[in-house]
Amino acid sequence: MGITLEQAQAAIQAAHRKALEMGVKMNIAVVDAGANLTAFVRMDDAWLGSLDISIKKAKTARFFDMPTGDLGKASQPGGSLYNIEHSNGGLITFPGGLPIMDSGNRVIGAIGVSGSSVEDDHAVAEAGVKAIQGQ
Amino acid sequence: MGITLEQAQAAIQAAHRKALEMGVKMNIAVVDAGANLTAFVRMDDAWLGSLDISIKKAKTARFFDMPTGDLGKASQPGGSLYNIEHSNGGLITFPGGLPIMDSGNRVIGAIGVSGSSVEDDHAVAEAGVKAIQGQ
Amino acid sequence: MGITLEQAQAAIQAAHRKALEMGVKMNIAVVDAGANLTAFVRMDDAWLGSLDISIKKAKTARFFDMPTGDLGKASQPGGSLYNIEHSNGGLITFPGGLPIMDSGNRVIGAIGVSGSSVEDDHAVAEAGVKAIQGQ
Amino acid sequence: MGITLEQAQAAIQAAHRKALEMGVKMNIAVVDAGANLTAFVRMDDAWLGSLDISIKKAKTARFFDMPTGDLGKASQPGGSLYNIEHSNGGLITFPGGLPIMDSGNRVIGAIGVSGSSVEDDHAVAEAGVKAIQGQ
């Protein structure tokens, strides 16, 4: 459904290369249009707790077809989606998850990255998306 | 802990190549010595239900340091480990999961494969192990 | 409730000593009368998958106030308690779990052992019970 | 993996002694480098609800190799890791969990304590760490 394994691996390879350049240790997950895990790598000595977070970020980005950080703005106390994180077996709503679109702007999957600051996580996820976006 | 990402990817690549040769569509998972997911790929159009099974096979093989099919012999009705599958959040005890040893014969991780018959799953897992066993 | 930490630790120490004598690597868990974990040890290099099993054996023994193996006789296909393992977040019904009684024959807790054959697991659990039974 | 049972028991014994001195009733858990439970004690009449919290604190400290309270600073509403607690089957991000390092400053495990105020929990965890840190 949507993203192919070849595309998913190209996204992960690009994200992995970016992480090596930045000197950070990441967990990188790609899910397909059905939000099912398609490819995953955990860099040596990356935080163990980031394994689950990277997969949840990728799923969250596909569940709602938006960057995870956007969802997090609405899930704060008093926000319209307060504590939406309780659904779907646990969402992650801070940055590091991004949907991936094809050339027709349809969502074909998503990438989730975890292992450093949320800014670093987002930058590595973006590198993955750029490698295959619009194909 | 144990297996490196480079080793895990080499195992997955060899298993993937074997699956392509055999004309089967597999989910292939590698866990480290702590039974944590290290690398994963799902081939295009592989059974969705095999995603979780491949990861559980890899974990089961590391949890007990033996091929998953060996455990399954003892978990049958009347067997000494009947219904052991209810532990650890769910085990898979039919063939397709194998521990991976280093040159000193210590378990450094495990591979789990699911997507075809258990004979095919086992053959693909074996190809993955052979690529890096004893390194 | 029921067993004290001092008693639980005495049971674990006796079971641990027995395991060392037998040359087996065990996970040993003691729960109180409320089936809540009271003390636990995992011997170096014991199977990772036995951690959860040892705790589930202790809980199962207290849930039904009988040796886990006795329950397993009734949970076989065609048996009166077929697949009871699906309850309580997962039961383990093969040997290795034993209730612990006080001098008035009331159940004050239970011990669960996992890491070797079910005969070995049972022998180590029995050593733990004997150290404090009837106190 | 990482911490030995002997080290884990020394940490728990020191933490237990500290809790007795302070007159508080604690649950004390130690996990290894793979975040798997290695040793545990629950003092008589300690809060039942603190059992799970002590284990989750130890796991959280190892998942991210930092004191649990540090993570909690970033997981507040508006913080960069808001609601990270929904990952990994539930994290605990207030004080009482601490990583344990060896002499080479590598994380070999973690301790988690729960049963009193977070200040008390932290003090007892610290006593456990000091008993074996840097060995």
**How much of chain D, in percent, has pLDDT values that exceed 90?**
95
Neighbours of B49 (CB within 10 A): 11
Minimum-distance CB partner of B37 among A4, A36, A42: A42
Report yes or no: B44 at the A interface, CB cutoff 8 Å.
Answer: yes
pLDDT tier at A1, thresholds 50, 70, 90:
low
Is some CB atom of chain C closer than 8 A to the CB atom of D44?
yes
ipTM of the complex: 0.94
CA gap B24, D76 in Å, rounded: 47
Judged by a CB distance cut-off of 8 A, whether residue C68 touches chain B is: no
Q: Does C36 touch chain D (CB under 8 A)?
A: yes
Residue A71 has φ and ψ, to the nearest 5°, of -65, -35
Pick the closest to residue C44 from C25, C29, C69 (CA basis): C25
Residues of D in contact with A92 (CB under 8 A): 83-84, 86-87
Nearest CA in chain D to B88: D36
Identify all chain C residues contacting B93, using CB atoms and an 8 Å cutoff.
none
pLDDT of residue B10: 97
Residue indicated by tokens 């304590």: D113
List CB contacts (< 8 A) between A83 and chain D. Answer: 83
Q: Do B33 and D34 touch (CB under 8 A)?
A: yes
Is D83–A77 a contact, with Cβ atoms under 8 angstroms apart?
no
Domain count for chain B, please give it. 1
Distances (CA, A) of B46 to A58, B19, C50, D26: 20, 11, 32, 49
CATH of the domain at C68: 3.30.450.150
Domain of C71 in residue numbering reads as 5-132
Residues of chain D found within 8 Å of residue B34, distances taken between Cβ atoms = 1, 33-36
For residue C73, what are its two tokens?
Answer: 């006789």
Q: How far is CA C121 from the centre of its chain?
A: 9
Contact C116, C18 (CB under 8 A): no
Q: What residues of B are in contact with residue C93 (Cβ under 8 Å)? A: 82-83
Identity of the amino acid at B104: G
The neighbours of chain A, by the rule of 3 or more Cβ pairs under 8 Å, are B, D
Q: What are B13-33's pLDDT values in tens digits?
A: 999 999 999 999 999 999 999
State how far Cα A27 lies from the chain centre. Answer: 10
In angstroms, the separation between the Cα of residue A46 and the nearest Cα of chain D is 9
pLDDT at C1: 67
Residues of D with Cβ-Cβ distance to C31 under 8 angstroms: none
Going by pLDDT thresholds of 50, 70 and 90, the confidence category of residue A133 is confident
Please judge whether B39 and A43 are an interchain contact, meaning their C-beta atoms are less than 8 angstroms apart.
Answer: no
Summarised one tens digit per residue, pLDDT across range C26-71 is 999 999 999 999 999 999 999 999 999 999 999 999 999 999 999 9
Query: Which phi-psi region, left, alpha or beta, contains residue A45 (left: φ > 0; alpha: ψ -120 to 50)?
Result: left
Average pLDDT over residues C81-88: 96
| pLDDT-above-90 percentage for chain A | 96
A27-32 and D107-114 as β-strands: parallel, antiparallel, unpaired?
Answer: unpaired
Reported as a single tens digit per residue, the pLDDT across D61-78 is 999 999 999 999 999 999
CB D104 within 8 A of CB D132: no
Distance from chain centroid for Cα B128: 9
Shortest Cα distance from A114 to chain D (angstroms)? 11
Distance CA D88, CA B52 (A): 16
pLDDT bracket for residue B40 (50, 70, 90):
very high
Question: Nearest CA to C71 among C94, C98, C43, C39?
Answer: C94
Residue written as tokens 């096979």? B57
Give B55-95 pLDDT, tens digit per residue.
999 999 999 999 999 999 999 999 999 999 999 999 999 99
Rounded distance between C-alpha atoms, residue D15 and residue D55, angstroms: 15
- Interatomic CA distance for residues D64 and A115, integer angstroms: 9
- Specify the pLDDT at position C76: 96
